[in-house]
Amino acid sequence: MPFGQEGLVVTLVGPVPKAAKVTFADEEIFNAAAQAIGPEFPADFPGKYTENLQKVEIFNSSMFWDIEELARWERRHGIEVKKEPLSIHEDYLKAEHVIFATLVEHPKVPMPQRFVACSVVLQRGVIIWNPDPGRETLFLRSYMHSSEGSGNFVNFVPRGGIQISFASEAIWFPLELTRVIQEPNSYVVLDILTQKQLNTGQLPKPFRLEKTGWMQHRGRIYHVARIAAKLSGKEKWPDLRLRPQP
Protein backbone atom coordinates (compact mmCIF):
# COMPACT_ATOMS: atom_id res chain seq x y z
CA MET A 1 0.00 0.00 0.00
CA PRO A 2 1.26 3.53 -0.68
CA PHE A 3 2.27 5.73 2.23
CA GLY A 4 1.15 9.33 2.62
CA GLN A 5 3.68 11.78 4.00
CA GLU A 6 1.00 14.09 5.40
CA GLY A 7 -0.80 13.06 8.58
CA LEU A 8 0.70 9.58 8.94
CA VAL A 9 -1.90 7.69 6.94
CA VAL A 10 -1.93 5.00 4.30
CA THR A 11 -4.70 4.42 1.80
CA LEU A 12 -6.46 1.08 1.55
CA VAL A 13 -7.96 0.72 -1.92
CA GLY A 14 -9.73 -2.19 -3.56
CA PRO A 15 -12.59 -3.36 -5.77
CA VAL A 16 -16.15 -4.11 -4.73
CA PRO A 17 -19.04 -5.29 -6.92
CA LYS A 18 -20.86 -2.42 -8.60
CA ALA A 19 -24.06 -2.63 -6.53
CA ALA A 20 -22.39 -3.50 -3.22
CA LYS A 21 -23.28 -1.86 0.06
CA VAL A 22 -20.09 -0.99 1.97
CA THR A 23 -19.92 0.02 5.64
CA PHE A 24 -17.40 -0.06 8.46
CA ALA A 25 -17.64 -3.04 10.83
CA ASP A 26 -16.46 -3.69 14.37
CA GLU A 27 -14.40 -6.68 15.55
CA GLU A 28 -17.36 -8.82 16.59
CA ILE A 29 -17.36 -11.35 13.78
CA PHE A 30 -13.55 -11.61 13.59
CA ASN A 31 -13.38 -12.34 17.33
CA ALA A 32 -16.25 -14.86 17.11
CA ALA A 33 -14.58 -16.70 14.23
CA ALA A 34 -11.23 -16.82 16.07
CA GLN A 35 -12.94 -18.19 19.16
CA ALA A 36 -14.80 -20.86 17.18
CA ILE A 37 -12.13 -21.98 14.73
CA GLY A 38 -8.81 -20.76 16.17
CA PRO A 39 -6.31 -17.89 15.80
CA GLU A 40 -6.36 -16.25 12.40
CA PHE A 41 -2.58 -16.30 11.82
CA PRO A 42 -1.35 -19.21 9.67
CA ALA A 43 1.21 -21.57 11.20
CA ASP A 44 3.87 -20.36 8.74
CA PHE A 45 3.11 -16.64 9.19
CA PRO A 46 6.44 -14.82 9.82
CA GLY A 47 6.78 -13.67 13.41
CA LYS A 48 8.06 -10.24 12.40
CA TYR A 49 4.58 -9.39 11.05
CA THR A 50 2.99 -9.71 14.49
CA GLU A 51 5.76 -8.03 16.47
CA ASN A 52 4.36 -5.08 18.45
CA LEU A 53 1.16 -5.25 16.42
CA GLN A 54 -0.90 -2.06 16.83
CA LYS A 55 -4.62 -1.54 16.27
CA VAL A 56 -5.52 1.62 14.36
CA GLU A 57 -8.52 3.50 13.02
CA ILE A 58 -9.96 3.54 9.51
CA PHE A 59 -11.88 6.61 8.38
CA ASN A 60 -12.97 8.92 5.53
CA SER A 61 -14.05 6.31 2.99
CA SER A 62 -14.94 7.06 -0.64
CA MET A 63 -16.22 5.21 -3.72
CA PHE A 64 -14.85 5.75 -7.21
CA TRP A 65 -16.28 4.99 -10.65
CA ASP A 66 -13.49 6.74 -12.56
CA ILE A 67 -9.75 6.04 -12.49
CA GLU A 68 -8.72 9.71 -12.72
CA GLU A 69 -11.00 10.53 -9.82
CA LEU A 70 -9.25 7.84 -7.76
CA ALA A 71 -5.81 9.16 -8.74
CA ARG A 72 -6.75 12.69 -7.67
CA TRP A 73 -7.99 11.39 -4.30
CA GLU A 74 -4.70 9.62 -3.66
CA ARG A 75 -2.65 12.68 -4.62
CA ARG A 76 -4.79 14.80 -2.32
CA HIS A 77 -3.62 12.64 0.57
CA GLY A 78 0.04 12.77 -0.40
CA ILE A 79 0.13 9.36 -2.06
CA GLU A 80 2.46 8.65 -4.95
CA VAL A 81 0.23 7.28 -7.70
CA LYS A 82 1.81 4.28 -9.41
CA LYS A 83 0.93 2.90 -12.82
CA GLU A 84 0.47 -0.81 -12.02
CA PRO A 85 -2.10 -0.48 -9.20
CA LEU A 86 -4.05 2.06 -11.26
CA SER A 87 -4.05 -0.35 -14.21
CA ILE A 88 -5.47 -3.13 -11.99
CA HIS A 89 -8.14 -0.79 -10.63
CA GLU A 90 -9.04 0.25 -14.17
CA ASP A 91 -9.49 -3.41 -15.18
CA TYR A 92 -11.85 -3.90 -12.23
CA LEU A 93 -13.85 -0.82 -13.27
CA LYS A 94 -14.25 -2.27 -16.74
CA ALA A 95 -15.46 -5.56 -15.20
CA GLU A 96 -18.52 -4.12 -13.41
CA HIS A 97 -16.80 -3.17 -10.17
CA VAL A 98 -16.28 0.12 -8.38
CA ILE A 99 -13.30 1.08 -6.25
CA PHE A 100 -13.63 1.51 -2.49
CA ALA A 101 -10.96 3.57 -0.76
CA THR A 102 -10.39 4.56 2.83
CA LEU A 103 -7.71 6.15 4.96
CA VAL A 104 -5.94 4.02 7.55
CA GLU A 105 -4.12 5.51 10.52
CA HIS A 106 -0.39 4.80 10.42
CA PRO A 107 1.39 4.33 13.78
CA LYS A 108 3.62 7.21 14.79
CA VAL A 109 7.23 6.64 13.80
CA PRO A 110 10.41 8.72 13.94
CA MET A 111 11.31 10.26 10.57
CA PRO A 112 8.16 9.07 8.77
CA GLN A 113 9.52 10.27 5.42
CA ARG A 114 11.77 7.19 5.45
CA PHE A 115 8.83 4.77 5.65
CA VAL A 116 8.25 4.36 1.96
CA ALA A 117 7.00 0.75 1.72
CA CYS A 118 3.72 -0.54 3.18
CA SER A 119 2.29 -3.94 2.25
CA VAL A 120 -0.77 -5.97 3.15
CA VAL A 121 0.82 -9.11 4.60
CA LEU A 122 -2.38 -10.84 5.74
CA GLN A 123 -5.67 -10.56 3.86
CA ARG A 124 -8.25 -11.60 6.42
CA GLY A 125 -11.87 -12.25 5.52
CA VAL A 126 -15.00 -13.71 7.08
CA ILE A 127 -17.65 -14.51 4.48
CA ILE A 128 -21.32 -15.25 5.12
CA TRP A 129 -22.94 -16.96 2.14
CA ASN A 130 -26.71 -17.05 1.69
CA PRO A 131 -27.70 -19.28 -1.25
CA ASP A 132 -31.33 -18.19 -1.61
CA PRO A 133 -30.99 -15.76 -3.20
CA GLY A 134 -27.25 -15.83 -3.84
CA ARG A 135 -25.81 -13.15 -1.57
CA GLU A 136 -22.42 -12.65 0.03
CA THR A 137 -21.48 -10.54 3.01
CA LEU A 138 -17.72 -10.13 3.23
CA PHE A 139 -16.05 -8.80 6.37
CA LEU A 140 -12.55 -7.75 5.41
CA ARG A 141 -9.54 -6.38 7.22
CA SER A 142 -5.90 -6.11 6.25
CA TYR A 143 -2.82 -6.61 8.38
CA MET A 144 -0.12 -4.18 7.26
CA HIS A 145 3.67 -4.10 7.50
CA SER A 146 5.34 -0.71 6.94
CA SER A 147 9.10 -0.43 6.69
CA GLU A 148 11.79 2.10 5.92
CA GLY A 149 14.28 -0.22 4.26
CA SER A 150 17.01 -0.54 6.92
CA GLY A 151 15.35 -2.90 9.36
CA ASN A 152 12.91 -0.57 11.11
CA PHE A 153 9.23 -1.41 10.70
CA VAL A 154 5.78 -1.23 12.27
CA ASN A 155 2.85 -3.64 12.09
CA PHE A 156 -0.76 -2.53 12.31
CA VAL A 157 -4.34 -3.61 11.64
CA PRO A 158 -7.70 -1.81 11.79
CA ARG A 159 -9.66 -2.27 15.01
CA GLY A 160 -12.59 -3.49 12.97
CA GLY A 161 -12.89 -3.84 9.23
CA ILE A 162 -15.03 -3.27 6.17
CA GLN A 163 -18.38 -4.99 5.54
CA ILE A 164 -19.29 -5.55 1.89
CA SER A 165 -22.70 -6.98 0.98
CA PHE A 166 -23.75 -7.85 -2.57
CA ALA A 167 -25.71 -10.25 -4.76
CA SER A 168 -23.55 -12.95 -6.30
CA GLU A 169 -23.78 -16.43 -7.83
CA ALA A 170 -20.41 -17.38 -6.33
CA ILE A 171 -18.34 -16.75 -3.23
CA TRP A 172 -15.88 -14.03 -4.23
CA PHE A 173 -12.69 -12.60 -2.76
CA PRO A 174 -10.45 -10.09 -4.61
CA LEU A 175 -6.81 -11.09 -5.12
CA GLU A 176 -5.55 -9.22 -8.20
CA LEU A 177 -3.85 -6.48 -6.14
CA THR A 178 -1.67 -9.02 -4.35
CA ARG A 179 0.94 -8.70 -7.07
CA VAL A 180 1.78 -5.09 -6.15
CA ILE A 181 2.79 -5.82 -2.54
CA GLN A 182 6.45 -5.17 -1.76
CA GLU A 183 6.94 -8.01 0.71
CA PRO A 184 7.80 -11.47 -0.69
CA ASN A 185 4.38 -12.92 0.14
CA SER A 186 0.87 -12.04 1.25
CA TYR A 187 -1.11 -14.57 3.27
CA VAL A 188 -4.87 -15.06 2.89
CA VAL A 189 -7.10 -16.54 5.61
CA LEU A 190 -10.83 -16.81 4.91
CA ASP A 191 -13.55 -18.22 7.15
CA ILE A 192 -16.56 -19.11 4.99
CA LEU A 193 -19.87 -19.39 6.87
CA THR A 194 -22.60 -21.41 5.17
CA GLN A 195 -25.89 -22.97 6.20
CA LYS A 196 -24.78 -26.36 4.86
CA GLN A 197 -21.29 -27.81 4.87
CA LEU A 198 -19.24 -26.25 2.08
CA ASN A 199 -17.76 -28.54 -0.58
CA THR A 200 -14.07 -27.56 -0.60
CA GLY A 201 -12.95 -30.29 -2.99
CA GLN A 202 -12.48 -27.83 -5.87
CA LEU A 203 -10.35 -25.21 -4.14
CA PRO A 204 -7.96 -23.55 -6.60
CA LYS A 205 -4.28 -23.85 -5.80
CA PRO A 206 -2.58 -22.70 -3.64
CA PHE A 207 -5.67 -22.51 -1.37
CA ARG A 208 -6.04 -25.32 1.13
CA LEU A 209 -8.64 -26.30 3.70
CA GLU A 210 -7.26 -25.61 7.17
CA LYS A 211 -10.11 -26.38 9.58
CA THR A 212 -13.85 -26.80 9.80
CA GLY A 213 -16.27 -26.21 12.64
CA TRP A 214 -19.44 -24.46 13.69
CA MET A 215 -20.08 -20.99 15.04
CA GLN A 216 -22.96 -18.79 16.07
CA HIS A 217 -23.42 -15.31 14.71
CA ARG A 218 -26.36 -13.10 15.66
CA GLY A 219 -28.64 -15.97 16.62
CA ARG A 220 -27.83 -18.29 13.69
CA ILE A 221 -25.60 -21.36 13.57
CA TYR A 222 -23.22 -21.65 10.61
CA HIS A 223 -20.82 -24.26 9.34
CA VAL A 224 -17.35 -22.70 9.03
CA ALA A 225 -14.67 -23.71 6.55
CA ARG A 226 -11.33 -21.98 7.01
CA ILE A 227 -9.28 -21.85 3.85
CA ALA A 228 -5.85 -20.29 3.51
CA ALA A 229 -3.14 -19.56 0.96
CA LYS A 230 0.32 -18.06 0.71
CA LEU A 231 0.52 -15.86 -2.40
CA SER A 232 3.82 -14.62 -3.74
CA GLY A 233 4.15 -10.96 -4.58
CA LYS A 234 4.93 -9.82 -8.13
CA GLU A 235 2.78 -12.66 -9.46
CA LYS A 236 -0.67 -12.46 -11.00
CA TRP A 237 -3.44 -14.08 -8.93
CA PRO A 238 -7.02 -14.29 -10.18
CA ASP A 239 -9.84 -13.46 -7.79
CA LEU A 240 -11.15 -16.39 -5.78
CA ARG A 241 -14.56 -17.63 -6.98
CA LEU A 242 -16.26 -20.63 -5.40
CA ARG A 243 -19.63 -21.94 -6.50
CA PRO A 244 -21.21 -23.76 -3.55
CA GLN A 245 -23.08 -26.96 -4.32
CA PRO A 246 -26.87 -26.67 -3.85
Select from 157, 142, 151, 150 the least CA-distant residue to 107. 157
What's the confidence (pLDDT) of residue 239? 98
Instruction: Considering only the C-alpha atoms of the chain, give the largest distance between any 2 of them, rounded to a whole number of Å.
Output: 55
What's the confidence (pLDDT) of residue 84? 95
Q: Dihedral sign, CA of 179, 181, 185, 191?
A: negative
Instruction: Provide the pLDDT confidence category of residue 6 given band limits of 50, 70 and 90.
Output: very low
Q: How many percent of the chain have pLDDT more than 70?
A: 97
Residues 169 and 17 sit within 8 Å (Cβ to Cβ): no
pLDDT at residue 3 tops 70: no
Distance of alpha carbon 14 from alpha carbon 92, whole angstroms: 9
The arithmetic mean of pLDDT across residues 29-56, rounded, is 95
Residues sharing a CB contact under 8 Å with residue 170, sequence separation 6 or more, in sequence order = 134, 241, 242, 243, 244
Q: Residue 176 gets which letter from DSSP?
A: G
What's the confidence (pLDDT) of residue 149? 74
Read off the pLDDT of residues 49-106 as tens digits, 9 standing for 90 and up: 999 999 999 999 999 999 999 999 999 988 888 899 999 999 999 999 999 999 999 9
Q: Which residues pair with 116 in a beta bridge?
A: none
